[in-house]
Chains A and B, each alone.
Chain A
Amino acid sequence: MSILSEVELLRRVPLFANIDTSRLKLLAFTSERLSFDAGAVLFREGDRGDSAYLILTGKVDVAVNSPKGEVVVAHLGANNIVGEMALLCEMPRTATIIAAEPLDTLRIKKDQFLQMLRDIPQMPLEIMRELAVRLNNVNKELSAAHVKLRAAGLE
């Protein structure tokens, strides 16, 4: 698969939807195309992160450690990006990502990613939008949880 087809795939990612083609080309060119077998681990919770992965094809399981061992909490498919939090702030990975099926990704290294944020003004804006959406989702889930707890008489 060549850069051009990768650019097409990047375009479908919400985060990159509004960015110039030449910039996406640069992103593709400076990133590493990486494939994983089913069951392979992209990274583990607690690891120090140095790159994010854009899922081009295939699906991943998102798992977190719990007292009962590793629990899969979500599934993500193509056009999703995983591991970007570790790039934005110095913190360990918050979840383990496992390839649920043969996986094709674009690995974006931290240095390139940050450089890109500096060079392309649209990018930080898009990321803020994306984070705001996630925050909103979390808030919604949180208040739903509150409601449930209260209904159960636990608060």
Chain B
Amino acid sequence: MATHQSLYKYIWQHSRRDQLVILVIAVAAQPFYFLTLTLPKLIINGPITGPQNGTAFTTEGATENFLRLVIGLPDWLGGQWTILQGFALERMPYLVALSFAFLALVGFNGFLKYLINTMKGRLGERLLRRLRYDLIDRVLRFPPSHLRKAKQAEIASMVKDEVEPLGGFSGDAVVWPVFLAGQGLTALIFILVQNFWLGLIAAVVILSQAIVIPRLRKPILQLGKQRQLQARELAGRVGEIVDGGPDIRVHGTSNWERADMVRRLGKIFDIRFELYQRKYFVKSLNNFMAQMTPFIFYLVGGYFLIVDRSLDVGQLVAVIVAYKDLPGPIKELIDWDLQRQDVEIKFNQVMDQFHPEGMTLPEPQGDAAAPMPFTTAVELKNVTALDDAGFTLLDDIDLTLPLNQTVAVVGPAGCGKEALGQLFARQVTLKNGTVKAGETDVLSLPEASTGRTIGYAGPDGYFFPLTVKENLLYGLKLAPRSGATAERRFREANRAGNPVFDADADWLDYDALGTRDPKAILDRMIDMLSMVELENDIYQFGLQSRIDPKQNEAAAGRIVEARLALHKRLSAPEYTNLVERFDPAAYNRNASIAENILFGASIDPLLQPHNLPVLPHFRRVAAEERLDKHLVAMGLSIAETMLELFRDFSPDHPFFDEFSFIPASELPAYQQIMKRSKMAELSYEDRSRLSVLPLRYVEARHRLGLITPEIRERLLAVRRTFAETLPADLAARISFYQEDKYAASASIQDNILLGRVSYGIAHAQERVNVLVREILDQLDVRDLIIEEGLAYNVGSAGKRLTTAQRQKLGLARALVKDPQVLVVNGALANLDDQQKTAIVERVLAHRKGKATLWVLTKNDLASRFDRVLHFDHGKLTSDQAQVAIREAAQ
């Protein structure tokens, strides 16, 4: 671990100026604070109890000078200095003047407090922003070995939560203790001035508080540290449970994970509970000590007042008022010190985690917008690399890679070929040797430059939870290309030491794309996707997506056009019955009863076919149209069949899940219902249980012959009434199927088909797919669908894609920026051989005459490259140009 700055150094270095400004204001506020303490005494001793206290107000009409300012210096410094003479006021006006002065002071004090607090808040936020940015910047510069070890949830919890208190604290780091100490001292001096002994008592109590309390708090801080570590680990473990969710399920180890969680939560509970016990003990002790002093004041002060007569009532009241203000600052000072220690521990802990050895220096990442293309071949000299465990990956490799050659790298797994690929992705640290292009050291070039000149696709590329398109173009966002500048934002960013990169600017490298035309860029993306055989998947994503016809009127129009064309084609004799269209006037035998009633698509969970039974509107319509008795009758028929078919099966029989309308657990209940129905004793509940069954029934699939002409007419009537009387709020959330209208809530695919592929016709789905594709091509709607597919969100870490899709996308991402050097490192490992061969051939045709280094998992494709490198045990064992190989074979 490299060392890092201490908390105070960090705060002082980055907020010195702000801290000093606040400090000056805080110090300047002190005299006013002292005045608010003195005024009550003046008011009570002056105009209120005036005559008894030997003031000027002994006679009617006597006056006192208001705003008379005299500084009493010792005689040897010149005695009393009168700064302001003031003006004479009678008793009542004097009282009014003093009271208003008091009010004004309170107001002014409040304003100063407000000013200081907002300045502190701003300072704290700036520092927090700087610290968070520093931490993230460090994550971006972590050495690859550390990145592999780091747990992302822990890192995230540190950046997000653990440094949070630092922001609040840094505003108080300097000012608050000075301010509080000043306040406490002022109050203490005030008391001392009034009465020396009382002041001494107060000072002793405070001193003992200041010594005892922090000692008692030491173990609390230790517990706090433990708690933080436990909480961070908990966050890490939760992240693992989410990431490893599928594997936990596969192995059935969820209880093991539960046990681990229970143990961790128990630990946190124990720590917290002990923390509370100690914390509240200290708190009550502190309170007790603070409350003890007034007791002494009443007793001792009373003694001075009654017996000694060295104290008057006004003074005693003022002392008690001043003392009321005294424990506040002291207590807060102690609290502040606690917070300081706490924050310091947190800061050190967090910083330790962010200072691994071997961090990339800030410079190699740089912000170079202009790439530096290689002009000569890339040369590896004496390259030796080790892995984390010190195992040799590459052993003294000498190699020249010209910029116009396609090179295959082969060898058994772990032979060093993978490391050779990773070398170009800067994931391997060199122990020895150089990688140079001419005079340039390739590995110390700015990352923004190598990111542009070298394209790398590994076996497990990471994808951000963005759209396919954004992931595809991710490698082209190296620097902001157009400056949408927001001045204020940048000024503030500067103050917090953040770089002024504008995330809202257009970062796309149009030079690398060679065009600014959106259509040409789309074509480029489609080309690359076709090259890696991903285009069809993206097209399918497009078909499954939804578009908003209001925002995308033209597209919706095109799709309806495609639908009409499809329906026309489907009326040809060879396609008869292939698709049963959604005809508002006809019952669809290939859709369920519920779908036939709803007859529309919605993304509202309430308006899904399976939720129809709980939709009040449906119940109302079913009763109104007298459908309910038919539903019960159909339900009886279904229940009877299910009981007959599944009666003898054990409840865990796979047929239940797949075929039965009634789950095994409910079979006995339905048996009872059947018995009661024979005696015509069906209860309301029985009837509703029965009427749920037929809603899932699809005539063409289940073939129980339930949809008689009479029932068909009933269902159509229900469909009509359902739509006509649907409350407006629900109606707004469903799109009913209409031949000439785009259904907003349905996918593009469903919109094109607007019907159901028929059950029971061989290869129906495939034939329809071919037909749809044909029509979309004819109408030139394909690009539109692909564009929608490119907007598909790949999910966290690309989890919504299959492994094969991720690998293909990774390769396409490297290809799309047309890099000078393309490095493919086992990037197609999960594809079948046929696809792999096809993709390699297409990519090689595309990269002809451009440097391409391909680490192959199997040797059989090597013959397609200009040159083949064989690796074994980290050594380059043979290096043959293809021509030579062919000659050798002959």
Please state if B644 and A119 are interface contacts (CB–CB under 8 Å).
Answer: no
Known A-B contacts A3-B703, A3-B705; the reply to A34 vs B762 at CB < 8 A is: yes
**B196 lies within 8 A of chain A by Cβ:** no
Asked if B645 contacts A4 (CB within 8 A), the reply is no
- Taking a contact as CB atoms under 8 Å apart, the answer to whether A22 and B645 are in contact is yes
A-side contacts of B645, CB under 8 Å = 22, 25-26, 29
Residues of chain B lying within 8 A (CB to CB) of residue A22? 644-645
Complex Cα gap A26–B659 (Å) = 10
Task: Please measure, in the bound complex, the distance between the C-alpha atom of A88 and the C-alpha atom of B411, giving whole angstroms.
Answer: 43
- For window 92-108 of chain A, which residues contact chain B by CB distance below 8 Å? none
Interface flags, A115-137, vs B, CB<8A=1, else 0 = 10001000000000000000000
Closest residue of chain A to B650 (Cβ to Cβ) is A119
Q: Does B846 contact A (CB under 8 A)?
A: no
Chain A residue, CB-CB nearest to B577 = A35
Question: Is A35 in contact with B659, judged by CB distance below 8 angstroms?
Answer: no
Asked if B486 is at the interface (CB within 8 A of a chain A CB), the reply is no
CB distance from B705 to the nearest CB of A (A): 3
The reply to whether A4 and B705 contact each other, CB–CB distance below 8 Å, is yes
CB-CB contacts below 8 Å: B692-736 with A: 702-705
In contact, A35 and B761 (Cβ under 8 angstroms): yes
Q: Say whether B100 faces chain A, with CB atoms less than 8 Å apart.
A: no
Contact check, B760 vs A33: say whether CB atoms are below 8 A apart. Answer: yes
- Contact: B761 with A2, CB < 8 Å? no
Q: In the assembled complex, how far is the CB of residue A48 from the closest CB belonging to chain B, in whole angstroms?
A: 15
For A3, give its contact among B574, B658, B704 (CB under 8 Å). Answer: B704
Tell yes or no: A30 within 8 A of B by CB: yes
Whether A32 pairs with B702 at a CB distance below 8 angstroms is no
Q: Does A30 contact B761, Cβ atoms closer than 8 Å? A: no
Taken together as a complex, chains A and B put the C-alpha atoms of A36 and B767 apart, in Å, by 13
Q: Beyond A3-B705, A30-B659, A33-B703, is A40–B641 a contact (Cβ under 8 Å)?
A: no
Q: Does B759 make an interface contact (CB < 8 A)?
A: yes
B743-766 interface code vs A (CB 8 A; 1 in, 0 out): 000000000000000011111000
For the complex, is B649 an interface residue (Cβ under 8 Å from A)? yes
Given contacts A25-B644, A26-B645, contact A35 B654 (CB under 8 A): no
**A25-B644, A30-B659, A115-B655 as given contacts; A35 in contact with B762, CB under 8 Å:** yes
Residue of B with least CB distance to A111:
B654
Distance in angstroms between the alpha carbons of A85 and B14 in the assembled complex? 81
Output the least CB separation between A31 and chain B (Å).
Answer: 10
User: Closest CB of chain A to B502's CB: distance in Å?
Assistant: 57
Interface check A1, CB cutoff 8 A: yes
Residues in A whose Cβ lies below 8 Å from that of B702: 29
Residues of A within 8 A of B654 (CB): 111, 115
Instruction: Identify which of A1, A29, A33, A119 contacts B659 (C-beta below 8 A).
Output: A29
Q: A1 touching B763 by the CB < 8 A rule? A: no
- Within A13-32, the residues touching B (CB, 8 Å) are 22, 25-26, 28-30, 32
With an 8 A cutoff between CB atoms, is A6 at the interface? yes
Report the Cα distance A92→B654, complex, angstroms.
26
Q: Which residue of A lies closest to B576 (CB)?
A: A37
- Complex: how many Å from CA A32 to CA B648? 22
In the assembled complex, which residues on chain B have CB atoms less than 8 Å from the CB atom of A30?
Answer: 655, 658-659
Contact of A34 among B574, B655, B760 (CB under 8 A): B760
Which B650-684 residues have C-beta < 8 A from chain A?
A: 654-655, 658-659
**Residues of B contacting A33 in the complex (Cβ-Cβ under 8 angstroms):** 703, 759-760
Chain B residues near A115 (CB-CB < 8 A): 654-655
**Residues of chain B contacted by A6 (CB below 8 angstroms):** 703
A29-B649 Cα distance, complex, nearest whole Å? 15
With a CB–CB cut-off of 8 A, which chain A residues contact B655? Answer: 26, 30, 112, 115
> Residues of B within 8 Å of A, CB-based: how many?
20
In the complex, which residues of chain A have a beta carbon less than 8 angstroms from the beta carbon of B574? 37
B648 nearest in chain A by CB position: A119
Contacts of A2 in B (CB 8 A): 703-705
Residue from B641, B705, B759, B760 within 8 A of A25 (CB atoms): B641
Q: CB-nearest residue of chain A relative to B654?
A: A115
Shortest Cβ gap from A96 to chain B (Å) = 15
Partner of B760, one of A3, A32, A112: A32
Q: Chain B residues with Cβ under 8 A from A119's Cβ? A: 648-649
**Distance (whole angstroms) from the CB of B738 to the closest CB of chain A:** 30
In the docked arrangement, what's the CA distance between A152 and B703, Å?
56
Contact with A along B495-509 (1 / 0, CB 8 A): 000000000000000
**Chain B: CB-nearest residue to A25:** B645
Q: Cβ of B703: which chain A residues have Cβ within 8 Å of it?
A: 1-3, 6, 28-29, 33
In the complex the two chains form, is A32's CB within 8 Å of B759's CB?
A: yes
Q: A29 vs B763: C-alpha distance in the bound complex, in angstroms?
A: 20
Would A35 and B760 count as touching, CB distance under 8 A?
A: yes
Cα(A42)–Cα(B644), bound, Å: 32
Most chain A C-beta atoms within 10 Å of own C-beta, residue among B641, B654, B760, B762: B762
A-chain residues with CB within 8 Å of residue B761 when the two chains form the complex: 34-35
Q: Which of B447-468 contact A (CB under 8 A)?
A: none
Q: How far is the CB of B375 from chain A (nearest CB, A)?
A: 55
| Residues from 607 to 657 in B contacting A, C-beta threshold 8 Å | 641, 644-646, 648-649, 654-655
Q: B646 to chain A: which residues have CB within 8 Å?
A: 26
- Cα A82 to Cα B452 in complex, Å, equals 60
Residues 360-395 of chain B, each 1 if its beta carbon lies under 8 Å from chain A, else 0: 000000000000000000000000000000000000
Closest Cβ of chain B to A37, distance in Å, is 8
Taking the closest CB of chain A, its distance from the CB of B696, in whole angstroms, is 14
In the complex the two chains form, is A36's CB within 8 Å of B762's CB? yes
From residue A14, how far is it (CB to closest CB) to chain B in Å? 23
Task: Output the least CB separation between B638 and chain A (Å).
Answer: 11
Q: Which residues of chain B from 221 to 258 have any CB-CB distance to chain A below 8 Å in the complex?
A: none
Closest to A33 in B: B760
**Contacts of A36 on B, CB cut-off 8 Å?**
762
Cα distance A1–B702 when bound, in Å?
11
CB of B771, distance to nearest CB on chain A (Å): 15
In the assembled complex, the Cα of A142 lies from the Cα of B38 at a distance in Å of 127
B422 to chain A, nearest CB (A): 39
CB of B159 to closest CB in A, whole Å: 51
Closest Cβ of chain A to B676, distance in Å, is 22
Collect the chain A residues with CB atoms within 8 Å of residue B763's CB.
40
Q: Which A residue's beta carbon lies closest to that of B761?
A: A35
B658: chain A residues within 8 A (beta carbon):
30
Closest beta carbon of chain B to A60's beta carbon, Å: 12
Residue from B648, B649, B659, B703 having most chain A Cβ neighbours under 10 A: B703
- A37–B658 Cα distance when bound, in Å, is 29
Residues of B within 8 A of A25 (CB): 641, 644-645
Q: What's the Cα separation between A9 and B779 when bound, in Å?
A: 46
Q: Which residue of A lies closest to B700 (CB)?
A: A33
Distance to closest chain A CB from B550 (angstroms): 41
Interchain CA distance A115-B659 in the complex, whole Å: 13
A32: B residues at CB distance < 8 A: 759-760
Which of chain B's residues has its CB closest to A42's CB? B762
Determine the distance from Cα of A3 to Cα of B644 in the docked complex, in whole angstroms. 13
Distance (whole angstroms) from the CB of B173 to the closest CB of chain A = 70
| Minimum Cβ distance to chain A for residue B177 (Å) | 76
**Cα(A69)–Cα(B410), bound, Å:** 41
Partner of B762, one of A4, A40, A111, A112: A40
**Cβ of B649: which chain A residues have Cβ within 8 Å of it?**
119
CB contacts (< 8 Å) of A111 on chain B: these are 654
A-B contact pairs, 20 of them (CB 8 A): A1-B703, A2-B704, A2-B705, A3-B705, A25-B641, A25-B644, A26-B655, A29-B641, A29-B645, A29-B659, A29-B703, A30-B658, A33-B759, A34-B762, A36-B762, A42-B762, A111-B654, A115-B654, A115-B655, A119-B649
Instruction: Contacts A2-B705, A34-B761 known; list 9 others, CB within 8 Å.
Output: A2-B703, A3-B703, A26-B645, A28-B703, A29-B641, A29-B703, A30-B658, A37-B574, A42-B762
Q: Which 4 A-B pairs have the closest CB atoms?
A: A2-B705, A33-B760, A36-B762, A26-B645
The chain A residues found within 8 Å of chain B, CB to CB, are 1-4, 6, 22, 25-26, 28-30, 32-37, 40, 42, 111-112, 115, 119
Chain B residues in contact with chain A, CB under 8 A?
Answer: 574, 641, 644-646, 648-649, 654-655, 658-659, 702-705, 759-763
